[in-house]
Amino acid sequence: MSSAPTLSIDPAAFHADPYPILAEMRAGAPVCFVPELGATLFTRRDDVFVQEKRIDLFSSHQPDGLLTRVMGANMMRKDGDAHMFERKALFPALSPRTVRDVLAPQFRDIVQGHIDRLKPQGQCDLVTDYAMPVAADALRVMTGLTNMDAADMDAASQAMLDAAANYQRDPEVDAKGYGYAARVQTLIEERLPELRAAPDLSIISVLDQAGLSVDAIAGNVRVIIGGGQNEPRDAIAGTVWALLTHPDQRALIAAGQATWEDAFAEYVRLVAPIGMSPRRVAKAGEACGVDFEEDELIFFMFGSACRDSAHFADPDRFDLTRDTGPAIPFGAGPHFCAGAAASRTLIAGYALPMLFDQLAGLTLDGPVPFAGWAFRGPTTCPVRWTS
């Protein structure tokens, strides 16, 4: 156990709203051990920014970590050359050119199809009826898992992420997560013969072309499903919620004084969809005045770092005019999210502007609850418009 001060939390309250306790941690115990999580948390932005790069001390290689157990071996849980080999293998599927020339036109068609489906209804739950299927259909195209429907993609993502954050070891959560992990591998194996006959720029295909084993492809695709489904889903619905509850900020976009990219960047700063990343202490060492023992578990709290008042004035406020440059919702080190450009294009390029442009009088139609600390977003977002 590290020499960091111990700070206990109420797990249910932390899941409901982690920000008050994270603010207390940043102010009084920015590096602290939380017994309910069995981990030492780094909560200040500058500490996370610097320490995440110290892979010699804080390693992503966690052979017994929950993410590895659920997802299988993957690039997110590798360092150095092993990480870079798989990241380079993935690059053709998510490069700026692929996003611009291959994915963006498909993203536009996906978004338009869902708006056309919803428009006559006059109301919907934005999470389940729009953000979820938009994110899932985009992910089906990106991964090559066209044999997986949108609802199944979303369910698999949530189940695997829940199991990967199941530090309370609920057996039902584990069973569901591991079950979906097995299903993803089965679906990959179904797709491989077709993709080998006609290779393309999907994630499964480019990893296969690079020589990765089926197990290695499955491990990486599972991780990509986790982040690539929940993050866009939550960011789409969450950014719409933020703009509808802050009409003055929406007016800045209408007046040309802010952009949809500004809205996306500020929302993921305010509510980082992926709130933390775990690391294993690779060797005994010291950081931020705290001594660590080998094989301890630590969490870099991205969601806390993005609300650090040392960098963001009035950090709990949604403000499109602020400089979000210091925010690190996608990480800061070698494991910076490989899909960040695709996510930004899907959300800021299409999902947000097309929704607001085509659904006249879009407004909230009920409360919008949020949940989660490792992965956070709205659980429901009822809206209505003039059909």
Q: Give the pLDDT of residue 120.
A: 97
- Provide mean pLDDT across the span 234-240: 97
Question: Looking at residue 70, what is its pLDDT?
Answer: 83
Per-residue pLDDT averaged across 70-95, rounded?
A: 85
Q: Among residues of the chain, what percentage have pLDDT more than 70?
A: 98
pLDDT of residue 162: 86
Give the pLDDT score at 227: 80
Q: What is the pLDDT of residue 3?
A: 95
Spatial contact of 362 and 243, defined as CB atoms under 8 Å apart: no
The span from the CA of 30 to the CA of 111, in Å, is 41
Residue 225 contacts residue 160 (beta carbons within 8 Å): yes
Angstrom distance (rounded) from CA 37 to CA 373: 12
Reported as a single tens digit per residue, the pLDDT across 184-196 is: 999 999 999 999 9
Q: Give Cα 360 distance to the centre of its chain.
A: 29
What top-level class would CATH report for the domain 11-384? mainly alpha
Q: How confident is the model at residue 387 (pLDDT cuts 50, 70, 90)?
A: confident
Tokens 């369910």 sit on residue: 155
The residue whose two tokens read 């898992």 is: 145
Of 98, 99, 74, 31, nearest in space to 296 by CA: 31
pLDDT for 247: 97
* Ranges of H-type helices in 30-119: 45-51, 66-71, 80-94, 96-98, 104-118
Both tokens of 122, joined, read 């006059």
Q: How far apart are CA 245 and CA 243, in angstroms?
A: 5
pLDDT at res. 230: 86
What radius of gyration, in Å, describes the C-alpha atoms of the chain? 20
Q: Which helix (H) or strand (E) element contains residue 143? A: helix 132-143
Label residue 164 by pLDDT band (50, 70, 90): confident
Residues 65 and 324: beta-carbon distance below 8 Å: no
337-360 pLDDT, tens digit per residue, is: 767 889 999 999 999 999 999 999
| Confidence at 336, pLDDT banded by 50, 70, 90 | low
Single-letter amino acid code for the residue at 271: V
Tens of pLDDT, residue by residue over 271-320, are 998 899 889 999 999 999 999 999 999 999 999 999 999 999 999 999 99
Q: At what angle do helices 150-164 and 214-245 cross, to 10 degrees?
A: 100
Whole-number pLDDT of residue 111: 98
pLDDT at 335: 65
| pLDDT surpassing 90 at residue 165 | no
> 377: exposed, middle or buried (C-beta count within 10 Å: 0-12, 13-18, 19+)?
buried
316 by Cβ neighbours in 10 Å (0-12 / 13-18 / 19+) ranks as exposed
Q: Tell me the C-alpha distance between 209 and 206, whole Å.
A: 5
Q: Where are the domains of the chain?
A: 11-384
Cα 274 from Cα 276, distance rounded (Å): 6
Q: Report pLDDT for 334.
A: 67
Mean pLDDT computed over 86-107? 95
Q: What is the pLDDT of residues 195-235, one digit of tens each?
A: 999 999 999 999 999 999 999 999 999 989 988 888 999 99
* Per-residue pLDDT tens digits for 40-72: 999 999 999 999 999 999 998 777 777 778 888
Using CA atoms, how far residue 194 sits from 106, 132, 183, 190, in Å, is: 20, 27, 18, 8
What secondary structure letter does DSSP report for 235? H
- In angstroms, the CA 383 to CA 239 distance is 13
Distance CA 125, CA 330 (A): 27
Taking the C-alpha atoms of residue 288 and residue 42, their distance in angstroms, rounded to an integer, is 9
CB 39 within 8 A of CB 31: no
Arithmetic mean of pLDDT, 119-142:
96
